[in-house]
Chain A
Amino acid sequence: MTTVTDTPLLRVRGVTKRYGARLGCGDVGFDLWPGEVLGIVGESGSGKSTLLSCLAGHLEPDAGEVLFDMDGGLCDTLRLSEPERRRMRRTDWAFVHQHARDGLRMGVSAGGNVGERLMAVGARNYGDIRARAADWLNRVEIAAERMDDRPTAFSGGMQQRLQIARNLVTGPRLVFMDEPTGGLDVSVQARLLDLLRGLVREMGLSAVIVTHDLAVVRLLADRLMVMKDGRVVEQGLTDQVLDDPQHGYTQLLVSSVLQV
């Protein structure tokens, strides 16, 4: 059962990133609570990917704070030393890339891909590593006999599921996802969404998902942030923002979606 705590897992305040005169993202702030999924939507160039990069520590923002709950206290991840930040990326945090090949080692077997994070945090028993990798491949519906195959031999959907297994095997508390269902067939997308929903619930995961697909956020995200020209124009409960949008841009975005 998810317990209600009074400390957010992630607290973001005033995150701003400029590319010269152009604004990447400006003055973004939110709280993310344990077990919550936050969706960030907007069209290409709205700054949603820039924001995600700033949050995940891939890009250094010009201003702002990204506070993460560590051992009870909020700690500014932007002020962590590089070794601490890298350790956090291997343990408490995970990042699922849009293109699986950016997040996988294509020359290493599926089992090795999943096992890498375990070995990175000190696992040195081959049998244990293999058993845990097999368990995770099973959880993302990859057959055990594919364990020693390389991801190059996998379909797009399988690669994406493998990337998710590789990221979640160390039990992170926060996952960043950049268009996790982009480039996949609709039917494959649905399976992946269901898988993610189940994992989020079972593991009490929190997630920040960037996507341009409103259908994806409706099914996956508890809360939604709408971005335009680097600014957050509206945020709130996902279904409220989609069904009763207050800002003109959100109304335009919602009304532009084809209904099926």
Chain B
Amino acid sequence: MTEAAYNFAYLDEQTKRMIRRAILKGLAVPGYQVPFASREMPMPYGWGTGGVQVTAATLVPEDRLKVIDQGADDTTNAVSIRKFFQRTAGVATTEATREATVIQTRHRIPETPLHEDQILVYQVPIPEPLRFLEPRETETRKMHALEEYGLMHVKLYEDIARHGTIATAYAYPVKVEGRYVMDPSPIPRFDNPKLESPAIQLFGAGREQRIYALPPHTKVVSLDFEDHPFDPSRADHPCALCGATDSYMDEVITDDAGGRMFLCSDTDYCSTRQKKGHRGTESAA
């Protein structure tokens, strides 16, 4: 057989069509969880099988792929998925957010604003935002169908009652186009405002067999109470390397004596700033 007989980007043709149909349906009904027949991937569940299937179904040979895990391009998960697509699809890769056409991410939205020609693919562990309080899938589906979302606020109520403030720091629930309540995957709530974006955003949950999507410029509102409005929160410290104060920070423990520093979780954003001459307290002079 010739190489041309094989399908582009790992998936067989039937699977690719099935996933693409699910993606299109998800884009047509923003925030709605579309069931799909998730395939076995050459990696364990929890390592981004859902995201990988969505990325594989989305990629075209001209694409330039970026993969991040917790904002970083150089962690094991990001590196292995990037290598997987280099080998199976032969696409170009990049670490620069601005140059990428497809970005697969775990737990972050890049700091650099996305633009209309980009697709952001999220890896999702638990797609159902109501699962916290309602274990029955039949019931949660009915609740979505009938827009019975009071339960979602019970979760936030419990937060305030227990902690005095909404303590949900990641996977903070949102309402999409005034209709479906959606789990934005475990991104920090700092990233929630960035969900309203000119890029296409696709969410893949491999183990749970669900795909959902946000078309460009979709209205995405973080749930809150009138007297406890949504607050995206931000770090109290500037980045120790680039001095940024507007990005999401990782806390890094530096020694056994309690020493620590705060660094941009988005490695591309941080290094780009450093190249432009921005400096933090720990930067090499």
A contact residues vs B (CB 8 Å cutoff):
82-83, 86, 90, 105, 107-109, 111-112, 115-122, 124-127, 129-130, 147-148
Contact = CB atoms under 8 A, between A and B. Distances in A.
A126 B225 contact: yes
Given A83-B146, A124-B226, A108 B154 contact: yes
Contact of A126 (B133, B150, B157, B162): B157
B225 A125 contact: yes
A115 B227 contact: no
Contact of A124 (B142, B153, B162): B153
Contacts of B227: 125-127
Contact of A116 (B154, B162, B225, B228): B154
A171 B194 CA distance: 41
Main secondary structure of the interface of B (DSSP, over half): helix
Contacts of B150: 90, 116-122
Contacts of B148: 86, 120
B149 to A, nearest CB: 8
B235 interface: no
Contacts of B284: none
B41 to A, nearest CB: 33
A107 B133 contact: yes
A109 B146 CA distance: 25
A109 B158 contact: yes
Contacts of B154: 105, 108, 112, 115-116, 119
Main secondary structure of the interface of A (DSSP, over half): helix
A83 B227 CA distance: 29
B151 interface: yes
B60 interface: no
Query: Which 10 pairs from chain A and chain B are nearest by CB?
Result: A120-B150, A119-B150, A126-B225, A119-B153, A125-B226, A83-B146, A116-B154, A127-B227, A148-B161, A112-B158
A82 B145 CA distance: 11
27 contacts: A82-B142, A83-B146, A86-B146, A105-B133, A108-B133, A108-B158, A109-B161, A111-B157, A111-B161, A112-B154, A112-B161, A116-B151, A117-B150, A119-B150, A119-B151, A119-B153, A119-B154, A120-B148, A122-B150, A124-B225, A124-B226, A125-B225, A125-B227, A126-B226, A126-B227, A126-B228, A148-B162
Contacts of A121: 150
Interface in B209-227: 225-227
A74 to B, nearest CB: 24
Contacts of B146: 82-83, 86
B169 interface: no
B253 interface: no
A49 to B, nearest CB: 22
Contacts of A122: 150
Contacts of B228: 126
Contacts of A83: 146
B160 interface: yes
A24 B83 CA distance: 64
A82 B150 CA distance: 17
Given A109-B162, A117-B150, 12 more contacts: A83-B146, A90-B150, A108-B154, A108-B158, A109-B158, A111-B157, A111-B161, A112-B154, A112-B161, A120-B148, A120-B150, A126-B157
B139 to A, nearest CB: 11
Nearest to B153: A119
B158 A126 contact: no
Contacts of B226: 124-126
A82 B226 CA distance: 30
Contacts of B133: 105, 107-108
A121 B154 CA distance: 12
Interface string B148-173: 10110110011011100000000000
A122 B226 CA distance: 12
Nearest to B162: A148
B279 to A, nearest CB: 43
A111 B161 CA distance: 8
A141 to B, nearest CB: 20
Interface string B65-81: 00000000000000000
A7 B233 CA distance: 56
A16 to B, nearest CB: 27
A125 B157 CA distance: 10
Nearest to A86: B146
Contacts of A130: 161
Contacts of A109: 158, 161-162
Nearest to B151: A116
Interface centre among B146, B148, B161, B162 (most CB of A within 10 A): B161
Nearest to A113: B154
A126 B230 CA distance: 13
A158 B154 CA distance: 21
A92 to B, nearest CB: 16
A124 B221 CA distance: 14
